[in-house]
Structure 1
Amino acid sequence: MPISPNQGSTGGGTLVTITGTNLSNTSSVKFGGKSATSVTNVSPTQVTAVSPSGTGTVGVTVTTPGGTSSPVPFFYVGAPFKSSLDATSGPLAGGNTITISGTGLSTATSVSFGGVTATPTVTSDSSLSVVAPAGAAAGPVGVSVTTAGGTNNGLSYTYVDIPAVTTISPATGPASGGTAVTITGTSLDSTESVTFDGAPAPFSVINATTLSVVTPPGTAGPADVVVTNPAGSDTELGGFDYVAGPGI
């Protein structure tokens, strides 16, 4: 007498399909010593029942006017507990792989990012990986994991849009570096790096539209300025012009 699924939440509420023979006029289905909260005769070979709350492994039995069946095991699974995401932000387009750590993850069937679900790859009871789906808009969303034991919420993931540079001011300075520059644009609050012709520049995030940057030393002439965040990069070709110092 197979049952499907053969595991469910300790809180109960799992709809279980029981398949066998002579199941007409089923009067009760029990999970261990507890009766199912709902029993439906589908056909002489199939019955559905909603599991009561429970723990551990219990035997499921069906009772009809002809007697009671032999028990079939059903496994109660606790709700998952998530402790961390190895990446808490990523591109609005999705596509990056995230590792979720916690407990009770071995039966995970889906991970939701703000209501958009993705199918995980379970590594162990304490770890799974999932490819982030595309987000609806930049900003934080809740992350939840659903397993046979239920759904657990509590973690946050932030979708980030690709940065866009609008202005660099001033746009010229000495090749020796040290010029204080203000970069304005959009999606700058998650900036990870700023470079001038590949040389990293010290920077401070003022807000989502403004960066304060100090130019590194460079070579006289135009330099490409690249601003990078978790979603990608924006390059201003020749965005800053290094000026050679006087020589006598």
Structure 2
Amino acid sequence: MPISPNQGSTGGGTLVTITGTNLTGTTAVTFGTKPASNVTNVSPTQVTAVSPSGTGTVGVTVTTAGGTSNPVPFFYVGAPFKSSLAPTSGPLAGGNTVTINGVGLATATSVSFGANTATPTVVSDTQLTVAVPAGAAAGPVGVSVTTAGGTNNGLSYTYVDVPTVTSVTPSSGPASGGTGVTIIGTNLDTTESVTFDGTPAPFSVVNTTTLSAVTPPGTPGAVDVVVTNAAGSDTATGAFTYVAAPGI
């Protein structure tokens, strides 16, 4: 007499299907010592019921006018606990892989990023990997993991859109570097790096449309300024010109 699924939340509420013979007229389904609710005779060979709360492994029996069946095992599973995820941000288009660490993850069936859901790969009871689905808009969303034991929330993931650069001011400075510049564009609040001619520059985020940066030393001439975040990068071609020091 198989039961499907054969595991569920310690809080109860799992709808199970029990398959066997002579099940017509079922009067009760019992999980260990506790009666199930919503017992329904589907056919002479099938009964459905909703599990009560419980812990550990219990025997499930079916009772009819003819007696009580042999028990089949049902496993109670605790709700998952998530401790961390990495990386914590990625492109709005999704597709990157995130690792989730915690406990009770072995029976995970889905991971939700906001309103969008993906199917994870179970690495172990303490780790999952999942390909992030596309997001609806840039910004943070809650992450929840659903297992046979229930659903657990509490982590956050940030969808990031590709940055754009519209201006660099001032547009020139000495080749020795050290010029403070303001970079204007969009989606700049998630910036991970700024480069001048491929050389990283120190920067700080002012807001989503503004960055402050200090030019590194460079070679005289016009150079590209590149702003990068987790979703990609944008190149302002020839946006800053290094000027050689005067000679006498």
Q: TM-score, normalised by structure 2?
A: 0.99
- Determine the structure 1 residue equivalent to 2:69: 69
Structure 1 segments of 4 or more deviating over 4 A? none
Match of 2:105, SS state, is coil
Quote the offset at 1:246 in angstroms. Answer: 1.1
Give the distance between the partners of 2:239 and 2:166, measured in 1 at CA. 10
- Determine the structure 1 residue equivalent to 2:15: 15
In structure 1, list runs of 5 or more residues that go unmatched.
none
- Determine the structure 2 residue equivalent to 1:242: 242
Q: 1:95-134 maps to which residues of 2 (within 5 A)? A: 95-134=95-134
Quote the offset at 1:140 in angstroms. Answer: 0.7
Quote the offset at 1:237 in angstroms. Answer: 1.1
Quote the offset at 1:94 in angstroms. Answer: 0.6
- Determine the structure 2 residue equivalent to 1:54: 54
Give the distance between the partners of 1:63 and 1:204, measured in 2 at CA. 70
Give the distance between the partners of 2:86 and 2:221, measured in 1 at CA. 41
Quote the offset at 1:147 in angstroms. Answer: 0.1
Give the distance between the partners of 1:115 and 1:8, measured in 2 at CA. 24
- Determine the structure 2 residue equivalent to 1:218: 218
Q: What whole-Å deviation, never above 9, does each CA across 1:196-227 have from its counterpart, x for those lacking one?
A: 11100011111111111100111111101100
- Determine the structure 1 residue equivalent to 2:160: 160
Supply the AA of the counterpart residue of 2:116.
Answer: V
- Determine the structure 2 residue equivalent to 1:175: 175
Quote the offset at 1:5 in angstroms. Answer: 0.2
Q: 1:135-154 maps to which residues of 2 (within 5 A)? A: 135-154=135-154
Supply the AA of the counterpart residue of 2:4.
Answer: S
Match of 1:108, SS state, is coil
Supply the AA of the counterpart residue of 1:183.
Answer: I
Supply the AA of the counterpart residue of 1:146.
Answer: T
Supply the AA of the counterpart residue of 1:25.
Answer: G
Give the distance between the partners of 1:171 and 1:96, measured in 2 at CA. 35
- Determine the structure 1 residue equivalent to 2:87: 87
Supply the AA of the counterpart residue of 1:231.
Answer: A
Supply the AA of the counterpart residue of 1:151.
Answer: T
- Determine the structure 2 residue equivalent to 1:227: 227
Supply the AA of the counterpart residue of 2:143.
Answer: V
Give the distance between the partners of 1:146 and 1:202, measured in 2 at CA. 42
In structure 2, list runs of 5 or more residues that go unmatched.
none
RMSD of aligned residue pairs (Cα, Å): 0.6
Q: 1:35-50 maps to which residues of 2 (within 5 A)? A: 35-50=35-50
Give the distance between the partners of 1:33 and 1:130, measured in 2 at CA. 39
Give the distance between the partners of 2:234 and 2:21, measured in 1 at CA. 66
Q: What whole-Å deviation, never above 9, does each CA across 1:152-205 have from its counterpart, x for those lacking one?
A: 011111111111111100111111111110001111111111001110001111
Quote the offset at 1:16 in angstroms. Answer: 0.2
Supply the AA of the counterpart residue of 1:41.
Answer: N
Quote the offset at 1:48 in angstroms. Answer: 0.3
Q: What whole-Å deviation, never above 9, does each CA across 1:42-89 have from its counterpart, x for those lacking one?
A: 000000010000000000000111111100000000000111112111
Quote the offset at 1:124 in angstroms. Answer: 0.6
**Identity score, percent:** 80
Supply the AA of the counterpart residue of 2:138.
Answer: A
Give the distance between the partners of 2:165 and 2:236, measured in 1 at CA. 7
Give the distance between the partners of 1:194 and 1:94, measured in 2 at CA. 23
Give the distance between the partners of 1:37 and 1:149, measured in 2 at CA. 18
Match of 1:79, SS state, is coil
Give the distance between the partners of 2:180 and 2:81, measured in 1 at CA. 47
- Determine the structure 1 residue equivalent to 2:199: 199
